[in-house]
Structure 1
């Protein structure tokens, strides 16, 4: 492959390539292999960095161990706020239940403590921080508006140096995993405008495309908000509902383990108004949508706006839905016909799917088996793009591809070729790049690629096994590693974006 001025100019056999480009700088791969670089379509950069540089609770195996981690961190660090992430009480069998306010006060006396649950839709917080956020001293984690208030109070305690260090750590991690671009899903209740402004000004080789999750009602308001925030679209985590783990996803029927149906943050009229305004302004809109009731509300809004402005006008914007976990085939067909992109997170199914996982606990096995139907969505014409929702799941693209291929529900996974496309070409399309070149390595494409330690390559056809890669030249996907559940991830040796090396091992 030959690259000039950040663009691929030639791909072919080695000997003629050297003859055609005699003065080129030669980089020998020594058995390594090259792929188009990855794009992560759903991240929270600063929050990811705070976990990488601070208190990571994802490995806690019990409430006691979680509290011990908090206690040790409090003894070693004097930060104004103890910011932690990743506890998941559904995996704790010997010591179940979320950390209580009293327990946090005992683990870190006199300290402000904010511990986001793994899905970041609820958080345990110390009594001091709860009071700072204007929230009562209940023992249970905060959710919904109370969570937003407590998180905002915790954000105010972070220093500029902490935030900058966190962003660098997060983007460094992305580059080290072969990722050249991320889609930041920001909003007034998530990270705030100051965080977004700082992120967009933060110098780094990883490209950041920002989304701002705040509803508007007119095209003029949409254009003004885009200009004020510096965002590329008005979507991402614009919450229609919450998350299944925190029992805040909006459902038609009650949860299996409690009598309520979750939270509805936006109604159909508000969703339609935002979608109409963005479509008229030719701005990409989007929504965070997980539960079946929230999906139904969004589909109704899309149908309403398409009836008013026409399907082609809606489709031209490439509007997005984030997560969209509980979707029927009929709803997928409607959205596919309107050019909607689904930014989905395959590792959700790996973490929480199956007969005994979180989904089954919260929804019952029958409903749980319908979640994240990637194959049905793709078959209905919905364009898939893959993301991590980091820090909810790790920034590890190969693990994400394995999860998409080896779905816990038979028939819901996608082929390795489709999975790789959703993390490259499909991810660029989700960010508005529709030139047919981004995410490939053909003449004329941006020279955005990663070099990987090879390991075992597969050269047989995809039809032989879902664990094998296609060598069909029409797919633009070369032979690549196994994606069976136990296969190790390739190791990134170099990441290049538009001809510039942004990571080298």
Structure 2
């Protein structure tokens, strides 16, 4: 491969390249392989960085272990707020719904503000000091006097905790996350920002951060007309009014909005936007030619968005809807009828295959929350692909690992028979799909073909074809028409990144 001025200029045999470009600088990869750089289509950069440099609770195996990790963090830090992420009581030895109490947080950290998000980031634990510093908390929807806070109460306490972070903490977190993206072969990310997530200050700081990883931002705030949509885009500098514009919550926190009650609780979750609001937002963005989108997980939430899309497609026409590249984040509960509609309207499914790897299967969190067979229908990748729905994959980091090879492997090893997609399709959803979802529709971004941006990663290939006993081995297509390189299987150790390049500029070099 020959790169000139940040663009792939030529591909072919080594001997021909040396004769055609005699003065070129030659890099011998010594057995490593080159592939298009990854795009993570759903990230929360500062929150990811805070987990990387601070308190990451994803390793906690019990309530006691979680509290021990908290105590260690309190002892090691004099920060104004202890910010942690990732506890998951559904996987603890104590059993589900065993989250620490407010009193237990106080016992470990005294009179210090403590904010600990659940792994899905849709509920959180808060100490007495943090609760006391949050006006209106006790009257907010989702308030619990001792246990996890959800819905509006969670948004309030998160805003208070965010306000206690120092400027240098936020900057260090952003730098750590962006550097980690590059070290994982990721050249571009989609930041899902919004007033209830990181807030305007966090998004402005990230938008203005100088780093080689390309950041495309989406602002999750609903509007009622086209003028308001244009004004909000101008104000925020976002690429669209999409991302985590919440129609509902998450299954783990029992805030995903369901048609029928949860199997393990007498509730149907939470609805944050009604059909009229969804329709107005879609209509406003479609008229203005702006990407709209929603965070949507439960089947009742999906029904609401489908109704809105149907109304807008009837008013503006399907081509107008498709031109905007509207997108749905997560899209876990969709049936064949809904998938056919999304394919017809060109709506992008921005999904996280790692959700199935972590919580799917017959005995996973999904099965406990929904029961079988409802849980078996979640994250239907093959159904969406067969309906012509454009797929773009991401991690929702810090919710799941940002390692993109885990995403590819999860998509090809879906725990529900018939729901997986090919490795070629999964890799495309992590590369070309991400660029397309960001509005780059030049036909070459995310590939390594002449004329494409020279955005690629170099990976160690040693011993990567060794499969563990019982592992399903998914071989990659070598059909040149696919424009996907011949890559190793992912049954054993995952590739290690040597170098990441975007538009010819090195972002990471091991």
Structure 2 length normalisation: TM-score? Answer: 0.96
Check the 8 A contact 2:473/2:489 in 1, yes or no. no
- Pick one of 470, 475, 481 that aligns with 1:468: 475
> Shift of the alpha carbon at 1:94?
3.4
Which digits, 9 at most, give the CA deviation of each residue in 1:422-464, with x for residues without a partner? Answer: 0001111011011110000000000000000012567xxxxxx
Q: Which moved more, 1:251-260 or 1:128-137?
A: 128-137
Decide which of 303, 306, 309 is 1:302's aligned counterpart.
Answer: 309
Q: CA deviation at 1:203?
A: 1.2
| 1:61 and 2:66 are equivalent in the alignment | no
Aligned to 1:107: 108
Q: Following the alignment from structure 2 to structure 1, what is the Cα–Cα distance between the partners of residues 494 and 227?
A: 47
**Aligned equivalent of 2:118:** 117
Q: 2:292 aligns with which of 270, 273, 285?
A: 285
SS of residue paired to 1:285:
strand
Query: Secondary structure at the residue paired with 2:241?
Result: coil
Alpha carbons 1:457, 1:480 under 8 Å: kept: no
Any unmatched runs of 5+ in structure 2?
A: 139-143, 466-471
User: Where does the alignment leave 5 or more consecutive residues of structure 1 unmatched?
Assistant: 459-464
1:495 aligns with 2:496: no
In structure 2, what is the equivalent of residue 461 of structure 1?
none
Q: State the shift of 1:483 in Å.
A: 2.6
Counterpart residue number, 1:79 = 79
Structure-2 residue corresponding to 1:450? 457
For 2:112 and 2:6, locate their aligned partners in 1 and report how far apart those are by CA, in whole Å: 49
SS at match of 2:453: coil
- Name 2:16's counterpart in structure 1: 16
Give runs of aligned pairs for residues 130-209 of structure 1, distance below 5 A.
Answer: 130-134=131-135, 135-136=137-138, 138-209=145-216
Tell me how far apart the structure 2 counterparts of residues 185 and 407 of structure 1 sit (CA, whole Å). Answer: 25
After superposition, residues 66-465 of structure 1 pair within 5 angstroms as 66-94=66-94, 97-134=98-135, 135-136=137-138, 138-456=145-463
Secondary structure of the 2:69 match is helix
* Counterpart for residue 483 of structure 1: 490
Query: Which is worse superposed, 97-106 or 114-123?
Result: 97-106
- Encode CA deviations 1:132-161: one digit per residue, 9 max, x unaligned: 123237111000000000000000000110
Report if the CA contact (8 A) 2:464-2:490 is conserved. Answer: no
3-state DSSP of counterpart to 2:240: coil
* Counterpart contact for 2:457–2:499, Cα < 8 Å: yes
CA-to-partner distance for each residue in 1:149-194, whole Å, 9 max, x for gaps? 0000000000110000000000000000000000000000001111
**Closer/same/farther in 2, CA of residues 457 and 488 from structure 1, 3 Å limit:** closer
Q: Which SS does the other structure have where 1:183 is aligned?
A: strand
Secondary structure of the structure 1 residue equivalent to 2:84 = strand
Change (3 A) 1:20 1:457: farther
Task: Kindly indicate whether the alpha-carbon contact (under 8 Å) linking 2:464 and 2:495 is maintained by their aligned counterparts in 1.
Answer: no
Instruction: Return the alpha-carbon distance in structure 2 between the equivalents of residues 367 and 222 of structure 1.
Output: 37
Over 4 Å off, 4+ runs? none
- C-alpha RMSD of the superposition: 1.0
| Residue matched to 2:28 | 28
Rounded Cα–Cα distance in structure 2 between residues aligned with 1:100 and 1:41: 35
1:337-366 per-residue CA deviation (whole Å, 9 max, x = no partner) reads 000000000000000001111000100021
CA change 1:466–1:280 in 2 (3 A) is: farther
Contact conserved, 1:447 with 1:496, CA < 8 A, in 2? yes
Distance in 2, matches of 1:266 and 1:466, equals 43
* Number of residue pairs the alignment of both structures matches: 497
Distance 1:291 1:94 in 2: 27
Tell me the secondary structure at the aligned position of residue 28 of structure 1. Answer: coil
1:95, CA displacement in angstroms?
6.1
Q: Is the 8 A contact 1:457 1:479 kept in 2?
A: no
| 2:499 partner SS | strand
Counterparts of 2:308 and 2:344, CA distance in 1: 14
